[in-house]
Chain A
Amino acid sequence: MKILVAVKRVADYKASIRIKSDGSGVETANIKMSMNPFDEIAMEEAVRWKEKKGVSEIIAVSIGADACQETLRTALAMGADRGILIKTDQTVHPLATAKILAKIAQQESVQLVMLGKQAIDTDNNQAGQMLAGLLNWPQGTFASKLDFHDNGVSVTREIDGGLETLFLQLPAVITTDLRLNEPRYLSLPNIVQAKRKPLDVIPLETLNIDIASRVYTLKVMAPEKRRAGKRLESAAELVNALKHEAQVI
C-alpha cells in the first residue's frame, strides 16, 4: 500500500499571532513556522503502519513556497520515503488544495491519502473531505483509531456525543484528530538521513489546475476582548453573585 501524506507549513501553535496594521492579513514574517500539528499526527500514523508492514511507500506532499521544503524535510525525518513540493507563492484555498492533491494521488497511484482534519492557521476543516469528493473515494474524517484489513480500513471517528466506527474501502482519504497518536521526536540520525532522501519540486503551473479563488478576505481583525470582572473571596459570595447579580442560577 502506498500512502500520500499532505503536510502544511503553518505558524507554530505557540507563536503569538499579530494582525497586519492595515488589517489585510496576519503577519507571518519572522514568526516560527512548523508542520501543522494535525498533519504531524497523519504523518506519524503513516509511519507507524509502515513499521508494522503492509505499507510500501510513504510520499509526503506540501503546497506552497520554497520554505515548505523545510516542512517536507521534517516529514522525511519522521519516516516518509520521499517528498513532493508543489511550488507556488499564491495562497491556496482548500478546494484548490483538494484539486492538487487529487492529481498527485492519481499520478502516484496511492491507496490512501492522510492529512490533518484542519490546519491551525485557517481552521477550515475542508480539504480532506473535498479531496475524497473529487476522487469519489470514501472518507474517514476526525480519525482517532485506524485498523487496516485486506480490503479496507476501519476508522473510528470523533463525533459530537462520542465515537463512530466506519469501514472504508480502499482507496480512501483519512483526516486525523488529536487522539490518534502522539508524534515522535526527531532523532539526529533521522534528520541527517532525511537530507539525502529525494524531494521533487514541481511548479504548480505545470499541473494545469486553476487555483483562482472565489472567496476574498476583505479584512481581518482581533476578536472583541472580554473585560476581566471581579475577584471574590469565597464560594458563598460567588453563589450570591450568581443568584442576585448575574441572575444565572
Chain B
Amino acid sequence: MKVLIIAEHDNQTIKPITHHIMTAATQLSQTIDLLIIGDQCKKAAENACLLPHVQQVLLADHQVYAHQLAENCAALVAEIGKQYDYILTGATTFGKNLLPRAAALLDVEMISDVIRIQSADTFVRPIYAGNVMATVQSTDKIKMLTIRGTAFPAVKTLPAPAAQLVVLSQIIENTLSRFENQQLTVSARPELTNARIIISGGRGLKSAENFKLLEAIADLLNAAIGASRAAVDAGFAPNDYQVGQTGKVVAPDLYIAVGISGAIQHLAGMKDSKIIVAINNDPDAPIFEVADYGLVGDLFKILPELQAALGGE
C-alpha cells in the first residue's frame, strides 16, 4: 500500500496542515511519498525531507505550476497518483479545489473531510454541517481523501533529512486559466487554523468598530481572531475570519466565543476545541451547552475586565 500526500507550501516552508495529514497517512501505510508542486519551491521540498515517515519527496518545480492552479496541477496529480493506493490532501481550500478535479480524471469517488480512519477502506466524515457523522466505505481502486487537520495531531520534523528528493520532469501546461492577483489578509497574529488560542466575535459585538475590542485581548494571549458567519455577513469582520462549517474548522487549546449565540454551523467549526469559553448576555444561548466556562453578561463590560485580569491596560 502506497500513500501520496499533496503538500501545501509557500515555496519555502511546508504548511502545518501537511504535518497533520502525515499522521493520517501513517494510519494507512508506512510507504508515504509527498508531492510538492510549484514554481521555485525547491526550498519547500528540502524542508519536506525533514518530515518523518516520508520515503520520497517528489518535486514538480516549474513556472507552469506557479500559483498551483487546479487545471494542470490536477492533471499532474492524476498522472503521478495513479501508481498509488491513497492520495491525500488537506480539507483546505487548496485541497478542496484540487483533489476532486484529479479524482474525476482518475474516475474515483473521493471522500471529503475525513476525521477518522477506521480501516484501510472505511472512513468517518461529518455531513449536514456536522450534525451527522457518516461512516463510509470505499471500494475504489485508489482512495482519494481530504483530511481535516484538526482531527489528527501534527508530526514533528526530524533534525536531519531522511527522505529522498526526486525531481519530476513532467511539465503540463495550463492554457485554460491564469492567475491575476491575490489579496491576503496581513496579520501579525497567528493563523486561525494553526493558533493555540482563538478569540472569536459574533453579532453581539454590534459593529466592526466594536470588533476591535477583541484585538487587545488577542494580543495579550497571542491569539488568532475569528468570527461567526453572522458577524461576517453583518460586515463586522472579513470572510477569512469565519469559523464554521462553511468557513474554517478549528480546534485550538482555547476558544473564546464572544457574543456568539452558537448556531449549529458555527459549533461545527469549533466544537473540537480543547477548552471553550462563552461570553454572552443570553443565558439560554446554545453556545453555553458546549462551553467549559460560561460568563453570562454584557460583553462590553466583561471584555475590559477580562483585559485587565489578563494584565492589560
Q: Chain B contacts of A163 at CB under 8 A? A: 182-184, 240
Q: Chain B contacts of A7 at CB under 8 A? A: none
Judging by beta carbons under 8 Å apart, are B103 and A95 in contact? Answer: yes
Judging by beta carbons under 8 Å apart, are B254 and A221 in contact? Answer: no
Whole-angstrom CA separation of A220 from B306 in the bound complex: 41
Judging by beta carbons under 8 Å apart, are B245 and A242 in contact? Answer: no
Judging by beta carbons under 8 Å apart, are B132 and A17 in contact? Answer: yes
Contact code string A224-249 (vs B, CB < 8 Å = 1, else 0): 00101111111110110110001011
Of B134, B193, B240, B289, most A-chain CB atoms within 10 Å: B134
Interface stretch among B55-63, B162-170, B206-214, B270-278? Answer: B270-278
Judging by beta carbons under 8 Å apart, are A248 and B184 in contact? Answer: no
Specify the chain B residue showing the minimal Cβ separation from A152: B177
Asked whether B294 is an interface residue with its Cβ less than 8 Å from the other chain, the reply is: yes
Judging by beta carbons under 8 Å apart, are A239 and B309 in contact? Answer: yes
Judging by beta carbons under 8 Å apart, are A215 and B140 in contact? Answer: yes
| A interface residues, tally (CB under 8 Å) | 77
Interface stretch among B33-41, B43-51, B67-75, B79-87? Answer: B67-75
Asked whether A186 is an interface residue with its Cβ less than 8 Å from the other chain, the reply is: no
Whole-angstrom CA separation of A206 from B96 in the bound complex: 32
Q: Give which listed residue, B135, B182, B197, contacts A218 with CB less than 8 A.
A: B135
Asked whether A121 is an interface residue with its Cβ less than 8 Å from the other chain, the reply is: yes
Asked whether B76 is an interface residue with its Cβ less than 8 Å from the other chain, the reply is: no
Whole-angstrom CA separation of A15 from B149 in the bound complex: 29
User: B: which residues have CB within 8 A of A?
Assistant: 67, 69-71, 74, 92-94, 96-105, 107-113, 122, 126-140, 175-185, 191, 193, 197, 221, 229, 232-233, 239-240, 245-246, 248, 253-254, 271, 274-277, 288-296, 302, 305-306, 308-310
User: A: which residues have CB within 8 A of B?
Assistant: 11, 17, 19, 26, 93-95, 98, 118, 120-134, 136-142, 144, 154, 157-169, 172, 178-179, 213-223, 226, 228-236, 238-239, 241-242, 246, 248-249
